[in-house]
Amino acid sequence: MPRSNSAKNSSSTSESGPTASLVGAADGAARTIMPSSNSPDANTLALAQAGDHHAFAQLYSIHKRRIYSLCLRMVGNAAEAEDLTQEAFLQLHRKIATFRGDSAFSTWLHRLAINVVLMHLRKKGLPVMSLDEAMEPSHDDGPGRSFGAPDLSLSGSIDRLALERAVAELPAGYRLIFVLHDVEGYEHNEIAGMLDCSIGNSKSQLHKARLKLRDALRTSLQKEGQQ
C-alpha cells in the first residue's frame, strides 16, 4: 500500500538505526494513503459511479495531479505521462461502477494507474522486471561496486535536482522499482505482485537502482568539483 509523504516523513523520524530508511516497507511502519483533501466525498463518488459527468470531472480535478505525477515519475517523459494519465482516467470511467469501497478510492485509482503504466511499458517491449542484462547489456559487474580505498562520498546530503535527474536517467526497469518502493512506498511483496516477479528479484533490483543512483550522483559531484 502506498504511503503519503506525510506518512513517509513520520515513519522516517520514528525509526532508529541507520538502515531504517533503506528497509522501507519491510519495517512494517504504518502507512496512510493520501491526504484527506484527495478523498472525494462519498456523494461525489456515488454520483460518478451512477454516470454523473460533472461528478466524474470533479474526481479528475481532485486526482489529476497525483496521477499525472505518478505517471511522470514512472516514465520520465511529460507527453507520455499525459497520454497515460488520459488512459488511466478513461479506464476509471469504464470501471468506476465496479469500485466497491474495499480500499480507499485513491488507493484503488493509484493502483489502476500503475497497471496502466505497466501495460504501456510491456507493450513497448520493455522487460519490466528482472532482466538486468537486457536493460544494461554493458554492465558486466553491476552498478556501483565500491571496492578498494574510500573515495568520494555523498556526505549525507544530496542535491534534489541532481537526484531527480539521476532517477530520470535510470534504465526503465530500475526506475520503476525505485519509484514504486522508495518514492511511492509500496512493499516488495506488492511490487512483486504487480510486476509478476519474485520478492527477491524486487529487492535486488531496488538495491541495484540505488547503487546506480549513487554512481550517478558521485559522478555529478566529481564534475562539480572539477569546475
Measured distance CA(50)–CA(108) in Å, rounded: 18
Nearer to another protein, 102 or 162 (CB): 162
Distance from the Cα of residue 86 to its chain's centroid: 18
Measured distance CA(52)–CA(57) in Å, rounded: 9
Nearer to another protein, 108 or 210 (CB): 210
| Pair 206, 178: CB distance under 8 Å | yes
Residue 193: CB minimum distance to another protein, A: 16
Residue 69: CB minimum distance to another protein, A: 5
| Pair 191, 116: CB distance under 8 Å | no
Burial class (CB in 10 A: 0-12, 13-18, 19+), 222: exposed
Distance from the Cα of residue 92 to its chain's centroid: 20
Burial class (CB in 10 A: 0-12, 13-18, 19+), 159: middle
Among candidate residues 122, 216, 133, the one with its CA nearest the CA of residue 176? 122
Which positions lie near another protein, rule CB under 8 A? 5, 8-9, 12, 17-19, 21-24, 26-27, 56-57, 60-61, 64-66, 68-69, 72-73, 81-82, 85-86, 89-90, 93-94, 144-151, 153-154, 156-158, 160, 163-164, 167, 178, 182-183, 188, 200, 203-204, 206-208, 210-211, 213-214, 217-218
Residue 102: CB minimum distance to another protein, A: 25
Nearer to another protein, 112 or 211 (CB): 211
Nearer to another protein, 73 or 194 (CB): 73
Nearer to another protein, 17 or 125 (CB): 17
Residue 135: CB minimum distance to another protein, A: 17
Residue 94: CB minimum distance to another protein, A: 8
